[in-house]
Structure 1
Amino acid sequence: MPTLSDVIAALEVLWPPERAESWDAVGLVCGNPDAEVGRVLFAVDPVQEVVDEAVGLGAQLLVTHHPLYLRGTTTVAATTFKGRVVHRLVENGVALHVAHTNADRAAPGVSDALAAAVGLRVTGPLVPDPTDPDGRRGLGRVGELPEPTTLAAFAARAAAGLPRTATGLRVAGDPDATVRTVAVCGGSGDSLFDDVRRAGVDVYLTADLRHHPASEALQAGPPALVDAAHWATEWPWVEQAAAQLDDIAARNGWGLETSVSRTVTDPWTAHTPNPAPAPAPEDSSAPAPSPAAGAAAAPRSVPTSSPGAPR
């Protein structure tokens, strides 16, 4: 059975910590390097539910994509949720290791897993890593579909390939537009719009798109946009990462077991669509009746005027 230091050394070959962004917090968060590791759980978020899952599985190592402490702290007291996570890990002999932006840049990395989940053949990174002579590493990926399709059909394909979340996918663009090439970026990707436009793709699939950057990108157009939940775009990586560690364990004869958390840790738990507007009265020229005294007005969810009509 390998020690924690053996496993961490292998993981740092896959995702070297020096390739993480300068602001990032990757690597070993807690754990005894000399402790033996027989089971590893992979997940996106180091939240309480996932830590409880690791303890329940009898894992000695939890590997997550997102850091527990991205900014400095002065306490791990159990009076905070992060402190409780640390206490639960340490008290149950579970180490925590983080691979974040170093896993984003890896080859294969987070966006390779996302591309595979939606059926793309990767042709290269969206933002190549200048230190990689092979041109495989970098942020995001550009890929091709097996055959042309429509934006609506691609969005349905992405929805089927990614794990289900309450918010689903948002789409911006002509649903009948032809889609052949796609750029993807696991996680928050609206900082890469210039790179996406230079790539000349038909669609950009990412997460956490904000109103103004998305609106400006559409006005500059193309590509069309498909916005998924942050957690959903990064979850495929945990399966890929577990498979990579399985290969390493098999080569070393470690007898290591890996598991993938299927706990949905996306923070949004429900989606409430806007109600359909009330049907217009038969005689649209007749004034609407006034509500009875003391009666509450009916809620309005959409504008009642036509586009461009005077208000």
Structure 2
Amino acid sequence: MRLREITERLERLFPRDAACDWDNPGLLVGHLDAEVHSIYVALDATEEVIEEAVSRGCELIVTHHPVIFRGVRELSDASPLGRKLLRLAESRTAVFSMHTNYDASPSGMGQLVSRMLGLRMLAPLEEIPFRGQRRETEEGAEGGERYGIGFLAELPDILSPESFSLLVKRVFRLPAVELYDAGRPVKRIACCPGSGRGQLANVLRSGAELFLSGDLGHHDGLDFVEAGISLVNAGHYGLEHPFSEELAGLLSAEYPELSVTADPIRFPARFL
């Protein structure tokens, strides 16, 4: 299997044109004509992930977060990024990333989180006017799904903010979640897996009683509570780590002749 066959298939499923302008998805390291026999899937291309993939003989790492995000002005072992890129190049290990294009796609991160929590999806939280190549449907025709960052959804039953927080903690196997409780029963939620900073206006317009996201701080919590909306801060890694198992399953189904490994859960921080 050639690398370009895999990347072209993934870009049809999760079009790069659907990514935010500031993002950097795609093939970031590697030769398109290289042969691939084994794939490693992870949220981030950390040094630990790269060493695990290399030790397993994987020719390709598929990540959610791009290993190269901003301009690289130096390629040496003087920086963590430089060391990683040199290790990848020297071991001939490719890295392909799907970031906000995966987030925005109808079958991407929002659908994954919603399905895990048993929610009924309503609409994107922030719709993207995407006019590029649409994701292929199961029938092979071009679909007309709505692309966007985050989502609005309904719970099957009304819950208290605390009960919903505990559901998130259990389903995503989290050591802890942070709840700013506005005291209202929860039926409709807004969610932005990953970082939800800057979404207050969209959440206010949504009519949601609770916002589920990550990378949110003290003042964000106060702002939401004062607006009558509970906030569950589950962490950036907390809601997105299922990407690894989900993509590994997709790749295994698409390419049964390849060996595909999902990175185990590696929480980057400890709660003491």
With the length of structure 2 as denominator, give the TM-score of the two structures. 0.89
Q: Corresponding residue for 2:218? A: 211
Distance 1:224 1:265 in 2: 25
1:79 matches 2:78 = yes
Match of 1:232 among 225, 233, 238: 238
Instruction: Give the SS at the match of 1:197.
Output: helix
Amino acid at match of 2:156: P
Distance 1:174 1:36 in 2: 54
Q: Provide structure 1 residue ranges, at least 5 long, that are not aligned to the other structure.
A: 273-311
Per-residue Cα deviation, 1:28-82 (whole angstroms, up to 9, x for no partner): 1111211111121111111101111111222111011112221111222122211
Structure of higher CA gyration radius: 1
Q: Corresponding residue for 2:138? A: none
Instruction: Give the SS at the match of 1:191.
Output: coil
Q: Corresponding residue for 1:171? A: 179
Distance 1:172 1:262 in 2: 30
Question: What root-mean-square deviation, in Å, do the aligned CA atoms of Structure 1 and Structure 2 show?
Answer: 1.9
1:159 matches 2:169 = yes
Amino acid at match of 1:260: A
Per-residue Cα deviation, 1:162-195 (whole angstroms, up to 9, x for no partner): 1334xx21001156x4221221111111211111
Distance 1:241 1:138 in 2: 19
User: Equivalent residues in 2 for 1:20-35 (5 A)?
Assistant: 20-35=19-34
CA contact (8 A) 1:38 1:60 kept: yes
Instruction: Give the SS at the match of 1:190.
Output: coil
Q: Corresponding residue for 1:94? A: 93
CA contact (8 A) 1:11 1:245 kept: no
Distance 1:3 1:217 in 2: 48
Distance 2:191 2:253 in 1: 26
User: What's the % identity of the aligned pairs?
Assistant: 31
Instruction: Give the SS at the match of 2:169.
Output: helix
CA contact (8 A) 1:4 1:32 kept: yes
Q: Corresponding residue for 2:206? A: 199
Q: Corresponding residue for 2:127? A: 128
Amino acid at match of 1:212: H
Distance 1:117 1:190 in 2: 23
Distance 1:129 1:55 in 2: 37
Instruction: Give the SS at the match of 2:241.
Output: helix
1:180 matches 2:187 = yes
With the length of structure 1 as denominator, give the TM-score of the two structures. 0.78
Deviates more, 1:236-245 or 1:35-44: 236-245
Q: Provide structure 2 residue ranges, at least 5 long, that are not aligned to the other structure.
A: 132-142
Shift of 1:208: 0.8
